[in-house]
Structure 1
Amino acid sequence: MSFTILHTQLVDRGKALTADCLRIAAGRITAIGGPEIAQPGDQRIDGAGSTVLPGLIDSHVHLAPGSTQLAATFGVTTLIDQFSMPEVIDAERALGSDFRTSSIGATAPGGHPTIAFPPFPYVTGPDDAKQFVADRIAEGADHLKLIYDNSLALPTLAADTVRALSDEAHAHGLTVVAHVSSAAAAVTVAACGIDVLAHAPSDLMTAQDIEAVAGVAVIATLDIVDGFSGPSARLPLLDEAELMARMPARWRRVLDRQSRRWMPPQPPDGAAARANTLALLQAGVPVLAGTDAPNPGLVFGASLHRELGHLVRAGFTPAEAIAAATSAPAEVFRLADRGRLTVGARADLVLVDGDPLADIAATQRVRRTWVAGEVVVPADYAGSETELAGVRFLGETTARIVAALKEQWPDFPVT
């Protein structure tokens, strides 16, 4: 199918183009210009009052059945998975979904995030690096994920193991993503040669810390705070009218139940992570938008719009926030065919009402989404067996985590 979107604002790399029309054929962008680019037989779409963005990219998720379809409902056309089991990955691929994955992440025996997953291979030391990376490549991994977290009362990889994993992954052309929680951990893994930090540190980074990690990228995941109830005693996503209007009923119920779970008396406010993210951007570090869905309060696709709002709250311009969810992740993860509005690019597109360069909340007003030139039909997912499988998977994962918490800390107030 070929179509032309007419008289719309086109945004590439966070900047408005002078052209206002976009033509798509055979799943690719074939022309950018004025109305004259439309061809006989094209479907013509009136884009007055709207903006076309490249399909949004979430740089940090953990897959669940149908997650790519749910994300596309909200204009998020590419998911970058940062740790999932091979059977989950294979099932999602069987749906014909296009995403990127690390497959199993590298962590120490009993380390984070052991309680969230069925048994999987651990890394005990540098000598395991070669086989671990080879096994992930055999599973179809596009990059390597590793866990270095010295802020938890759990085992973590040693620095020499991080370096060995990074070196082995680089020898095979893989980008290396490292989970960290603290500024000290970020400095350590940067010195070990990793490429991307998963999570902005939750403690305030010094100028020296910023300088030490200036050669890597960072996936912000500022929306982690959305897993905790605000003043309304509801999870923040529930109060986003535009997003909730597109939210399938089962996922609404999930959010409602998560709102009523136990909450800490002083939930994290994310202030240090926001300050770090802005300081990293100002130091020239590529910042990528990521959600860590489906952690509590986070939903595939929908939460990326909240993440963009958090970036702007941190001090980003709307243009910088949009780049963090389009061109920046495409460059860092070498997605040469998407994240841009250029001739020849894959036609992953989202049409939104309004001008997100003036008001980032406009990204939430999704009018239409295309994946490889095919329009996304939200009703194909909502109420489907695929949706049910995703919700069941989340419930099973939650039950496993709760059981593990109760076993380790019998008095822990989980519900």
Structure 2
Amino acid sequence: MAFVTTTITGARIFDGERLLDHTAVRLTGGRIAALGDATLLSPGDEHVDARGGTLLPGLIDAHVHLLPGAPRQALTFGVTTVLDMFSKPDTVRDAVARAAGPDCADVRSSSVGATAPGGHPSMMYAPFPSVTGPRDAGRFVADRVAEGAAHLKVLYDDGTGGPMPMPSLDVPTIAALTEAAHAAGLVVAAHVSTARGALDLLPTGVDVLAHVPFDALDAAQVTAIAAAGVAVISTLSVADGFPGGSLPAEPALAARLGPAWRAVLERQQQRWLPPQLPDFGAARVNTRLLHAAGVPVLAGTDAPNPGTVHGASLHRELGYLVTAGLSPAAALTAATARPADVFGLADRGRVRAGLRADLVLVAGHPDEDIAATQEVRAVWKRGVRADLDGYVGSADEQAGLAALRAQTEKVIAAVRDRLGVRL
């Protein structure tokens, strides 16, 4: 990667937690060299006049599932790091290799998540290694470490939060997996969809709940989650795959999506849906209550679930967080400093001297109006300015669309077989 010394002047700078007095940032060698004012500009620097825009840390999506080319797509929307929460090893290897270059977001992955034989998400990803009980925990974690996993994903879901029952890991098995993961230095993110599931797992020592529960949390449950010290990934933007939400309704995002992805989202709006839909209103209330109780809330999209797109949906997620009751500044923190802290990414998530030069310049004042993040003007990954237009129409886009189509067809066949419905 060829580094160019760049100085950005005339910017409002949000450092991941607050607006700074500085107006300029100098980038060299892939790092933030200094913050200050226009006097940082030296002869020979590449000069970027921010013209009153706001400079943010590169955004972090704390919950994705990889598609070929997805990290490249994410970067065009200002997402410089993605935390993958279940992908097959070959997909992860390809994504991590590409992430070494300047045109893709950085990738941290769980590789295969721990689930029971036939458990979620077997319909999409089978075959893959599963866990039958506590005795499997040590070997399962060791195998994920050997694959390069940066964290562990565990799944606790018997289908009660969705349209069909399925096998699930039990609490003792998740406790054993968590113990083995912590011994290996891994953060543990737990898939749960219900309030009961979240409370069941608190004694196991998991670090992160990978979703805000879709059913209402009561006051005692909120207090218990806060006391346990876990973080929660919001994933509110999955609502965009159901009636009432739509990513293409945002002009700035739709323009950057390109026609192929817009067509996918249009088809997804016409898909079969179960009669009982998730209560996204309850999830938003839960998010507000958890945030107010001091629970670290992390912005994550669960892309590419129906209605979501890598990179673009994180901006929708930020909007949902503000609708849920977070301030715009707190929502920005949920996509920058907070996930960096929770997942041990000490070199990013803030605008500070010495950290990675992962930055996004947006128009307007997103710390006051969160919709301003959608107007992405420039993105730097490790100090190299990204090409924001090269993904649409590329081989990466075609590969991602083909993989999504294959996954969708696999899920449709499985649902048709289990439920006996015509999709």
TM-score (norm 2): 0.95
Indicate the residue corresponding to 1:185 in structure 2: 197
Q: How far is 1:269 from its partner?
A: 4.5
Distance 2:266 2:287 in 1: 30
Q: Alpha-carbon deviation of 1:118?
A: 2.8
Per-residue deviation, 1:264: 4.6
Residue 177 (structure 2) pairs with residue 174 (structure 1)? no
Of 322, 325, 330, 1:320 maps to 330
Is residue 2:246 matched to residue 1:221?
no
Q: Look up the match of 1:306.
A: 316
1:237 shift after superposition: 0.5
Contact 2:13 2:54 in 1 (8 A): yes
**Alignment partner, residue 121 of structure 2:** 113
* 1:299-352 deviation per Cα after TM superposition (whole angstroms, max 9, x unaligned): 000000000000000000000000000000000001111110000111111100
Where do 5+ consecutive residues of structure 1 fail to align?
none
CA distance in 1, matches of 2:157, 2:276: 22
Give the one of 106, 115, 134 matched to 1:126. 134
Range with bigger deviation, 55-64 or 87-96: 87-96
- Partner residue of 1:378 out of 378, 388, 398: 388
C-alpha deviation, 1:267, in angstroms:
4.0
Write the distance in 2 (CA, Å) between the matches of 1:328 and 1:93. Answer: 23
SS for the counterpart of 1:256 is helix
Pair 1:62 & 2:65 matched: yes
- Quick one: distance in 2 between partners of 1:258 and 1:182? 25
Q: Distance in 1 between matches of 2:288 and 2:273?
A: 28
Asked whether 1:332 is paired with 2:335, we answer no
Q: Secondary structure at the match of 1:355?
A: coil
The answer to whether the 8 Å contact 2:214/2:279 transfers is no
Pick one of 283, 292, 301 that aligns with 1:273.
283
Contact 1:352 1:367 in 2 (8 A): yes
Q: In structure 1, what is the Cα distance between the partners aligned to 2:420 and 2:215?
A: 29
Preserved contact between residue 214 and residue 278 of structure 2 (Cα < 8 Å): no
Moved more, 10-19 or 174-183: 10-19
Percent of aligned pairs with the same residue? 52
The code of the aligned residue for 1:218 comes to V
CA drift at 1:258? 1.2
Deviation track 1:51-101 (CA, whole Å, cap 9, x = no partner) reads: 000010000000000111000110011000000000111121232352100
- Alpha-carbon distance in structure 1 between the residues aligned to 2:117 and 2:91: 22
In the alignment, which residue of structure 2 is the partner of 1:159?
171
Unaligned 5+ segments in structure 2 are none
Asked if residue 28 in structure 1 is aligned to residue 40 in structure 2, the reply is no
Where 1:344 maps in the other structure, the secondary structure is: coil
Note the C-alpha offset of 1:378: 2.5
Number of residues paired by the alignment? 409
Partner of 1:144: 152
1:374-411: per-residue Cα shift (whole Å, max 9, x none)?
11113322211111001000000000000111111222
Q: Which moved more, 1:334-343 or 1:251-260?
A: 251-260
**Counterpart AA for 2:285:** A
Letter of the aligned partner of 1:16 in structure 2? L
Note the C-alpha offset of 1:277.
Answer: 1.0
Distance 1:274 1:30 in 2: 39
Counterpart AA for 2:370 = I
Shift in Å at residue 248 of structure 1? 2.5
Q: Could you tell which deviates more after superposition, 21-30 or 50-59?
A: 21-30
Give the deviation of 1:13 after TM superposition.
Answer: 2.5
Corresponding residue of 1:209? 221
